[in-house]
Chains A and B, each alone.
Chain A
Amino acid sequence: MTLAVDRPDPAAPVVDKAERRRAQITGGVLVALAAFIVLVFGDASGDATFRLSRPRDVWVIGDLVVPALPVIYVAAALTAFLGARLFLRGGGRWSTLSLGAGLALAVIAFLLWATAGNAFSLTGMLQATVVRAMPIALGALAAVFCERVAVVNIAIEGMLLAGAFTGALMGSLIGGWGGLLSAVVVGGIFGFILAALVVTYRMDQIIAGVVINLFVLGLTSYVSSQVFAEMRHLNNAPVFRAVKLPVLGDIPVIGPMLFHQNIFVYGAFVMVVVSTYYLFHTRGGLRARAVGEHPRAADTLGIDVYWTRYVHVTVGGMIAGFGGAWFTLGSVGRFDENMTGGRGFIALAAMIFGRWHPVGALLAALVFGFSDSLQQKLALLQTPIPSEFLAMAPYVATIIVVAGLIGRARAPAADGKPYIKD
């Protein structure tokens, strides 16, 4: 499976027809979005108050008070301008940025409208954003590792679930750190199984992924209803608490967001930095990408394609196992059937959204985390929009973004194809 369908030839200077049409559709969507902002959010009145500090913070800064209606109209006008520009100019360098800016403006307008005449803790929401983004970010990072060596990993969902399950079981038996380590190991085992199925046994990669998802879902649900139901002490793991870093944790807004979190958040950030360095600045990373782009050429140069794939898919599995432990060791300490609830698939979307790059994957995951926490916090403000529609918004946004972006994002060339050595 290659995830980019038509790849514009980088050597071709002219913007091709498909891209022009894509830009026009995107522009149309943005103009429609602007109209939507004016029509739906145009009835806001009063000031929107965003609380930036919490009562017990060391350094307290004042609330951000914004007059809602004027800013909403400005946001709508800017969105309309960006959309019209995209529609008339038809693509070019700024189309991705315009789409992102347009969606961001829509979110700002929505926030103002929902908060108008009310107060709302922005810091709390941003902190929740980072927390909720982590399993998606880690899953997406795992997918980056696999896809960079041309193995499509649909099994992220299953690996997250396996990590969550192992974290709960082993965490209950031998403590939090032991549970975390076991989750990483079990994730790695499933990565290895995926690699064995697709590299050695040349099974279709999608089928292998679907099978692992089915298998993990079946096994974890089976054990949780057969064993955990009776022996509750096996499903009662300790939870990693948030650790506040000295000084940094006291910075307003940014402190609670980035420096007052649990081990999964710090771990994810470190892993994103390390894997970016590894993939793009070391010999090993270059070899891995070569295997993903042109395995035969890599093989000719003496790189062991099979070995490289085994290693990277296993490491990807370990990262996913770590991310899976977030669900149990990072939040409630208890495993429930199918508790990952499709986040592995969202991670896959985040990876594509983030253009097969660790940093991009993290940013895309943050977008999902943001909408997730936004929806939760806004339930408190009681907006007239049904909560189901708020819950849908990130998925609609993903569709818009993937439709608008994908032509420019490019999958590794050999993605999804088995390599058969002569």
Chain B
Amino acid sequence: MSMQDTATRKLLERAAPGRVDFENLVVVPLFAVVAALILGALTMLATNVEPATIGRSYLALLQGSVGSLGAISETLTAAAPLILAGLGLALGFRAGLFNIGAEGQILMGGMAAVICGFSFSHLPFAVLMPLCVISGGAAGAFYASIAGWLRAATGAHEVITTIMLNMISYRLVDYMLRLPWVQRPGRADPISQSVPPNAELPALLQWLDPNLRLHAGIFLTLLAVVVVHWLLFRTKLGFEFRASGASPEAARYAGMRASLIIVLAMATAGMLAGLAGANQVLGVLGRASPGFSAGIGFDAIAVALLGRSHPVGVLFAGLLFGALEAGGRQMQVDAGVSIDLIGIIQALIIVFIAAPLLVRALFPWGFRRPDSGDGRS
């Protein structure tokens, strides 16, 4: 973008405050979702799904995500770990760290929470549950800070080290699940002992209907959104994170301790991913099994990107992905369309949101014209 355009844009923003924000925050995502759904329908058409079934599947998608109390409960349950891990990744992006390792950090956090749960099952709920949540966060933080330390001490790039740590974590979980003191007695397959009831995140709505899975992890998630927002935008440490992400050179000249910031940022990101793992095992699964992270760590990358690495954005992006996840399950049951379609729709939404130029090219009438095709780079 040349200087001229920037100046014009600044003037426009001053002249019509809110208009640009409105387009970026509301119109673009809205068009993105619509365009993704249309392309999803075309995909279904291409694979021989009848038009009537397509209509039924989108209706099921809507019903399964927000159509009933049960649907909302499922949406929130699916969104919580995505938001938690997404917050961690967003914080990393802000600090200039591309952490792909949420998957491994979720696994480590979940394992720690499970082990803590069944090892100290004699403790009362008020002590045990927080202890398990904290140990999950601590394990995630420790696992992520390995990558942070390697980056700070040797310059090994975190993309590579976190991918490798993911691979290692899968094997480590497989190994741990077969240890005699972890494996469930009487079982030959790798599966852990169950989390005792006094370590579980309590279900919130079971007094209405025992099938409602929404649990107290949602409060943990909301708290995390607030804390991360405060940390990033209201504290010195958060400023240092953002400064070293925006310009490592400038941050160093300003006297910030680059190595320490990298390790701390990775540890915080890992803690949030570890909390997501603890949230899953203590609130939903009740035990650990191989690969229980179920790709949440990778979906969380998309959530963080979609939320533009802003805590509030991550909250909404996570809710959207959670809704698609919950609705997708309903869609599979009602219309017999594979839930994998949701993956396609999610990817398309991110494309359209991350490349505003593309949306503007596809839907020219939705936008103010003088922008003449020059979006934000």
Q: Which residues of A contact B (CB under 8 A)?
A: 1, 3-6, 18, 21-22, 25, 197, 201-204, 206-208, 210-212, 214-215, 217-219, 221-227, 337, 342, 345-346, 348-349, 352, 386, 388-389, 391-392, 395-396, 398-399, 402-404, 406-407, 418, 420, 422
Contacts and interface: CB of A to CB of B under 8 A. Distances in A.
Given A226-B338, A227-B47, A392-B172, A218 B343 contact: yes
Contacts of A5: 151, 155, 157
Contacts of A337: 340
A404 B154 contact: yes
Contact of A211 (B167, B168, B171, B351): B351
B315 to A, nearest CB: 19
Given A18-B155, A386-B175, 10 more contacts: A3-B157, A22-B154, A197-B351, A197-B355, A211-B347, A211-B351, A222-B343, A224-B340, A406-B157, A420-B1
Interface in B158-199: 159-161, 163-168, 171-172, 174-175, 178
B150 A342 contact: no
A209 B179 CA distance: 38
A236 B343 CA distance: 25
Contacts of B98: 1, 206
A388 B155 CA distance: 28
B43 interface: yes
A62 B71 CA distance: 69
A230 to B, nearest CB: 10
B354 interface: yes
Contact of B377 (A206, A223, A420): A420
A388 B163 contact: no
Nearest to A214: B347
B171 A391 contact: yes
Chain A to chain B: the 7 pairs with minimum beta-carbon distance, closest first: A218-B343, A215-B347, A222-B340, A221-B340, A214-B347, A218-B344, A388-B175
Nearest to A338: B295
A212 B161 CA distance: 22
A214 B299 CA distance: 8
B343 A221 contact: yes
A17 to B, nearest CB: 12
Contacts of B301: 210
Contacts of A1: 98, 159
Interface string B309-340: 00000000000000000000000000001101
Nearest to B262: A5
Contact of A214 (B174, B337, B346): B346
Contacts of B278: none
Interface in B346-362: 346-348, 350-351, 354-355, 357-358
B302 A202 contact: no
26 contacts: A5-B157, A22-B154, A22-B155, A25-B153, A197-B358, A206-B98, A207-B305, A207-B350, A210-B301, A210-B350, A211-B350, A211-B354, A214-B343, A215-B348, A218-B344, A222-B341, A226-B338, A345-B163, A386-B175, A388-B175, A392-B172, A396-B164, A399-B160, A399-B164, A403-B155, A403-B161
Given A214-B343, A218-B346, A207 B156 contact: no
B95 interface: no
B128 interface: no
B43 A219 contact: yes
B342 interface: yes
A41 to B, nearest CB: 20
Contacts of A221: 338, 340, 343
A301 B319 CA distance: 49
Contacts of A219: 43, 343-344
A3 B337 CA distance: 41
B156 A406 contact: yes
Contacts of A407: 154-155
A6 B155 CA distance: 7
Contacts of A342: 163, 166-167
A208 B354 contact: yes
B377 A403 contact: no
With most chain B CB atoms within 10 A of its CB, the pick from A5, A221, A346 is A5
B150 A403 contact: yes
Contacts of B171: 388-389, 391-392
Given A203-B355, A395-B164, A210 B302 contact: yes
Contacts of B48: 227
Would you call the interface of chain B mostly helix, strand, loop, or mixed?
Answer: helix
Interface string B92-117: 00000010100000000000000000
Contacts of A406: 154-157
Contact of A222 (B2, B47, B153, B358): B47
Contact of A3 (B49, B154, B159, B175): B159
Nearest to B177: A388
With most chain B CB atoms within 10 A of its CB, the pick from A214, A225, A392, A406 is A214
A145 to B, nearest CB: 19
Contacts of B302: 210-211, 214
Contacts of B100: 345
A352 B167 contact: no
B157 A352 contact: yes
A403 B347 CA distance: 33
B223 to A, nearest CB: 28
Contacts of A214: 298, 302, 343, 346-347, 350
A221 B337 CA distance: 12
Contacts of B357: 201-202
With most chain B CB atoms within 10 A of its CB, the pick from A203, A218, A227, A396 is A218
With most chain A CB atoms within 10 A of its CB, the pick from B343, B345, B357 is B343
B47 A223 contact: yes
Given A201-B357, A210-B301, A422 B155 contact: no
A407 B375 CA distance: 36
A399 B155 contact: no
B361 to A, nearest CB: 8
With most chain B CB atoms within 10 A of its CB, the pick from A3, A226, A391, A404 is A226
A208 B301 CA distance: 12
A337 B339 CA distance: 13
A336 B166 CA distance: 22
Interface in B280-317: 298, 301-302, 305
A343 to B, nearest CB: 11
Contacts of B340: 218, 221-222, 224-226, 337
A25 B347 CA distance: 41
Contacts of B150: 399, 403
B154 A218 contact: no
B305 A210 contact: yes
Contacts of A422: 2
With most chain A CB atoms within 10 A of its CB, the pick from B2, B338, B346, B348 is B338
Contacts of B163: 342, 345-346, 348-349
Given A21-B153, A218-B344, A420-B1, A349 B354 contact: no
Nearest to A6: B155
